[in-house]
Structure 1
Amino acid sequence: MKLRSTANRRESVPTGELNGEAYVNIGEEAPPRLEKFKKVSVIPLIFLIFYEVSGGPFGAEDSVGAAGPLLALLGFLVFPFIWSVPEALITAEMGTMFPENGGYVVWVSSALGPFWGFQQGWMKWLSGVIDNALYPVLFLDYVKSAIPVLGGGWPRVLAVLALTLVLTYMNYRGLTIVGWTAVFLGVSSLIPFVVMGFIAIPKLEPSRWLVVNLHKVDWRLYLNTLFWNLNYWDSVSTLAGEVDNPKRTLPKALFYALILVVFGYFFPLLIGTGATPLNRDMWSDGYFSDIGKMLGGVWLRTWIQGAAALANMGMFVAEMSSDSFQLLGMAERGMLPEFFGNRSRYGTPLVGILFSASGVILLSWLSFEEIVAAENFLYCFGMILEFISFVKLRIQNPTASRPFKIPVGTIGAILMCVPPTILICVVLAIASLKIMGISLLAVLIGFLLHPGLKYVEKKRWMRFSISADLPDLYAATNNESIETIRN
């Protein structure tokens, strides 16, 4: 057990040393560089996870349009057990095992080596940026009925730019502000659906919930919508270094966020499908505001539109926090140039924020369905690497210190990954040729980026280093265990 001799400097260490690394135990004290920045507590973390995964029912409308009420409701009840619960449990175990901002990048690097760790970081960052490009689109879809000029053309483009700049500045000001903002936005965006539920009680007809026509199901849209609305549980792992006592806070926050997410989808869909006549063609982005008008009048529609705007703001800032801190974590491990690890005076990753915001602006021209399909495709590749890493570390290091450990053995860990892996294969198989082509091109770029950055490092055109504030990583044999940082 050892620390580098100088706590506040960065040392140049070859990035290849990350392969097979293990944590060393460095005691109870927090790294000096983070002591001046306030850590995120459990309640803000719950809502950050809520917004990284969901943000409320906005965007779930397509599930009804694609498959009808019964399959939509069943999807948001059954799908969490197939995907969300396993992903959240793996995130809790691995996130407490490796509590630093690299998150899943460090997991994969530890199990599979630096090359695949970099590919994980590239694919997950790109899928996150693609996902974040969706929220300005959804925001404008909800408000264009009240402000028609935002439906297209230059006004829409300028609105996207303005919204992106404002929310990017909020991320720059600090993760604690983002966390408590997420709490406020989360409560505000869910309250109108509680009110809508009470108003809808006299109009509910349970028979409407049972409507299904298997011959008229758009399976691609249905599965992509469910997958998009219920994934990204692992995103919080890239914020683990900013969390107060992550070995306790992270599992607890994931548990409560899971309940909040499922409720936030199922209840509004139950009300919307049960209290209004079914018109599947109308069930698309923004339809919840129309339901509000049918049930309560213009005032309720306006309230829901406002809640949608707040929800999309919350999802944007939460996703950007995850994406930008991931880049910071990769820089701290020497996978990216050192300047990606620079923090602003608020403790935020300035360069990571700027890169993530630029990606959002460049990708905001894509349509809703194209964005969902593209980010799902890349996200699937990343999740396969996470599952493999999780199982491999369980096999090679079964006695490693894990502050939170899923109560299953090696066989149980493998079996737990089977259903979501099958789902991943289905999502990949139903992607259009266009999305496959774009996504595979993105993967190929990642394969070229890693050796390119290694060449840049070799030529010393840019500085790469591993942060001295992180524990030393050493080559581990199969008989060595991984010790975790105590927080």
Structure 2
Amino acid sequence: MKLRSTVNRQVSVEMGQSDAIEYVNINDQPSSPRVHGTRKVSILPLIFLIFYEVSGGPFGVEDSVKAAGPLLALLGFLVFPIIWSVPEALITAEMGTMFPENGGYVVWVSSALGPYWGFQQGWMKWLSGVIDNALYPVLFLDYLKSGIPALGNGLPRAFAALALTFVLTFMNYRGLTIVGWAAVLLGIFSLLPFVVMGLVSLPKLEPSRWLVVNLGEVDWNLYLNTLFWNLNYWDSISTLAGEVDNPKKTLPKALFYALILVIFGYFFPLLVGTGAIPLDRDLWTDGYFSDIAKVLGGVWLRWWIQGAAAMSNMGMFVAEMSSDSFQLLGMAERGMLPEFFAKRSRYGTPLIGIIFSASGVVLLSWLSFQDIVAAENFLYCFGMIMEFIAFVWLRIQYPAASRPYKIPTGTVGAIIMCIPPTILICVVLALSTLKVAALSVGAVVIGLVMQPCLKYAEKKRLMKFSTSAELPDLHGPEQESVDSLPE
């Protein structure tokens, strides 16, 4: 026990942590700054928060059928998780338990590549998340406009989007525990009508419809962007690690169960919709599941699907905003952003981070669905490349560092695991339009300039920056390797 304690302390120093401040043992609370009077998130709400960070149900997958037909759509949601979702979830489990604090992937990249690139990671992933969040009011209204035509365009749509943004932002302000349990209820309500739709569709299923494919008419850009958008963001939950009850045990389990839930939530509705209804690819766009529900079950099922879609988009909005706003808080606690971003409300929520994230959603809500998906995918790809580099680099540089959950692969296995998703990232980037690429690269350049400007403001004392004393030092002097300890 004494030798183990010595090894753990040495590993902490090797990772740049001081001997006085370490990440706690697996059975204790994380070393993120504690907020008295706030409850931690338990495993069930955490599963559904991950579910909403990534998916929220099959709403938004319709374009995969429009782009490629039933067979490729179904195969995509079986194969793509293996190529992308599983590696991303595994890396999130390992790195999230290694650094159980609200900075999440910002801390991972900062610890491996330095604070400058950690800031770039935070900027790109936050902006990607805000762009992603701008989708949900759009999808919410798209599912309701067939029943309420006034929400299709014009001032009524604009006012409805603003009102929805305000209500959901207020929910985030009231506390993450409320958001977590709301996600559980919304998740059950969102998935249940598809189970019912599957039952009523049984007499009408024709398996031959699942095999329809025409490779000459595939819109690969739309197809891959739709798959990518619907199956990424597993790492977003890492920015809430400091708010989770015993994250070193809870986070890996929650990611595993959420992965199963997400794949089922996509594949089963697509199986029903493509097998029970004659194919018309032009009709397969966001909101089409409600039309399928009307054909299969009647108006009552259509309204249930529309209500479920609305609730699902609410769940995705609050989960994404929680991740985005706590990321800003975590960056402020690390001294990357001005101190006022670390300010919490009386409910323990990041007040300034919520305001900034909500403002970004409102400013970006004018973009079309396809532009939003493509732009956030582009920025997300850049961020994921840095995460893969950080993951591999920390495996190489600090193989003996404490990892409460460790992917059962060596260094070579870790590198090999990152190759398929990296190739996929390159394909997604290559298929981006010039407009999306230009906007995204412009956003990256802003981040490259912003960090030195913030450092200048800190040096001139134009803004106050501070690093929480409760967090371990990521960039201290390197120490002797743990392998050199005496037996």
TM range (shorter): over 0.9
Partner of 1:300 in structure 2?
Answer: 301
Give SS of 2:213's match. coil
Deviation at 1:33, TM superposition (A): 3.2
- 1:334-386: CA deviation from partner (whole Å, max 9, x where unpaired): 00000000000000000000000000000000000000000000000000000
CA distance in 2, matches of 1:277, 1:312: 28
Runs of 4+ in 1 over 6 A off after TM superposition: none
Partner of 2:421 in structure 1?
Answer: 420
Deviation at 1:471, TM superposition (A): 2.7
Alignment of 1:39-438 (within 5 A): 39-438=40-439
Deviates more, 1:228-237 or 1:463-472: 463-472
Q: Give the unaligned 5+ runs of structure 2.
A: 1-13
- What is the RMSD computed on CA atoms of the aligned residues? 1.6
Cα–Cα, structure 1 residues 57 and 249, in superposed 2: closer, same or farther, change >3 Å?
same
Give SS of 2:471's match. coil
Cα–Cα, structure 1 residues 358 and 480, in superposed 2: closer, same or farther, change >3 Å?
farther
- Partner letter of residue 443 of structure 2? A
- 1:10-36: CA deviation from partner (whole Å, max 9, x where unpaired): xxxxxxxxx974475254466673242
Deviation at 1:37, TM superposition (A): 1.1
Deviation at 1:479, TM superposition (A): 4.6
CA distance in 1, matches of 2:195, 2:340: 46
Aligned residues: 465
Deviation at 1:470, TM superposition (A): 1.8
Q: Give the unaligned 5+ runs of structure 1.
A: 1-18, 483-487
Is the contact between residue 17 and residue 472 of structure 2 (CA under 8 Å) also seen in structure 1?
A: no
CA distance in 1, matches of 2:396, 2:203: 56
Deviation at 1:442, TM superposition (A): 0.0
- Partner letter of residue 228 of structure 2? F
Deviation at 1:102, TM superposition (A): 0.2
Is the contact between residue 96 and residue 247 of structure 1 (CA under 8 Å) also seen in structure 2?
A: yes
Give SS of 2:34's match. helix
Partner of 2:470 in structure 1?
Answer: 469
CA distance in 2, matches of 1:359, 1:453: 20
CA distance in 1, matches of 2:113, 2:70: 43
Is the contact between residue 114 and residue 475 of structure 2 (CA under 8 Å) also seen in structure 1?
A: no
Is the contact between residue 40 and residue 176 of structure 1 (CA under 8 Å) also seen in structure 2?
A: yes
CA distance in 1, matches of 2:277, 2:23: 59
- Partner letter of residue 413 of structure 1? A
Partner of 1:456 in structure 2?
Answer: 457
- Partner letter of residue 83 of structure 2? I
**TM, length-normalised to structure 2:** 0.94
- 1:155-182: CA deviation from partner (whole Å, max 9, x where unpaired): 1110110000000000000000000000
Is the contact between residue 172 and residue 346 of structure 1 (CA under 8 Å) also seen in structure 2?
A: yes
CA distance in 2, matches of 1:480, 1:132: 43
Deviates more, 1:467-476 or 1:114-123: 467-476
Is the contact between residue 111 and residue 475 of structure 2 (CA under 8 Å) also seen in structure 1?
A: no
- Partner letter of residue 201 of structure 1? L
Is the contact between residue 62 and residue 285 of structure 2 (CA under 8 Å) also seen in structure 1?
A: yes
Is the contact between residue 181 and residue 314 of structure 1 (CA under 8 Å) also seen in structure 2?
A: yes
Deviates more, 1:29-38 or 1:160-169: 29-38
Is the contact between residue 20 and residue 109 of structure 1 (CA under 8 Å) also seen in structure 2?
A: no
CA distance in 2, matches of 1:184, 1:58: 17
CA distance in 1, matches of 2:164, 2:149: 17
- 1:95-129: CA deviation from partner (whole Å, max 9, x where unpaired): 00000000000000000001100000000000000
Is the contact between residue 41 and residue 245 of structure 2 (CA under 8 Å) also seen in structure 1?
A: yes
Is the contact between residue 45 and residue 180 of structure 2 (CA under 8 Å) also seen in structure 1?
A: yes
Is the contact between residue 150 and residue 159 of structure 1 (CA under 8 Å) also seen in structure 2?
A: yes
CA distance in 2, matches of 1:263, 1:245: 27
Partner of 1:25 in structure 2?
Answer: 22
Deviation at 1:473, TM superposition (A): 4.0
Give SS of 1:467's match. coil
- Partner letter of residue 346 of structure 2? R
- Partner letter of residue 411 of structure 1? V
CA distance in 2, matches of 1:468, 1:247: 21
CA distance in 2, matches of 1:34, 1:378: 32
Partner of 1:3 in structure 2?
Answer: none
Is the contact between residue 186 and residue 311 of structure 1 (CA under 8 Å) also seen in structure 2?
A: yes
Is the contact between residue 130 and residue 363 of structure 1 (CA under 8 Å) also seen in structure 2?
A: yes
Partner of 1:447 in structure 2?
Answer: 448
Cα–Cα, structure 1 residues 57 and 29, in superposed 2: closer, same or farther, change >3 Å?
closer
Is the contact between residue 396 and residue 479 of structure 1 (CA under 8 Å) also seen in structure 2?
A: no
Is the contact between residue 397 and residue 479 of structure 1 (CA under 8 Å) also seen in structure 2?
A: no
Is the contact between residue 130 and residue 371 of structure 1 (CA under 8 Å) also seen in structure 2?
A: yes
Give SS of 1:34's match. coil
Give SS of 1:460's match. coil
Identity %: 77
- Partner letter of residue 45 of structure 1? L
Give SS of 2:259's match. helix
Is the contact between residue 168 and residue 317 of structure 1 (CA under 8 Å) also seen in structure 2?
A: yes
Is the contact between residue 15 and residue 401 of structure 2 (CA under 8 Å) also seen in structure 1?
A: no
Give SS of 2:252's match. helix
CA distance in 2, matches of 1:284, 1:463: 48
Deviation at 1:468, TM superposition (A): 1.8
CA distance in 1, matches of 2:156, 2:482: 57
- Partner letter of residue 36 of structure 1? G
CA distance in 2, matches of 1:429, 1:185: 36
**TM, length-normalised to structure 1:** 0.94
Cα–Cα, structure 1 residues 22 and 213, in superposed 2: closer, same or farther, change >3 Å?
farther
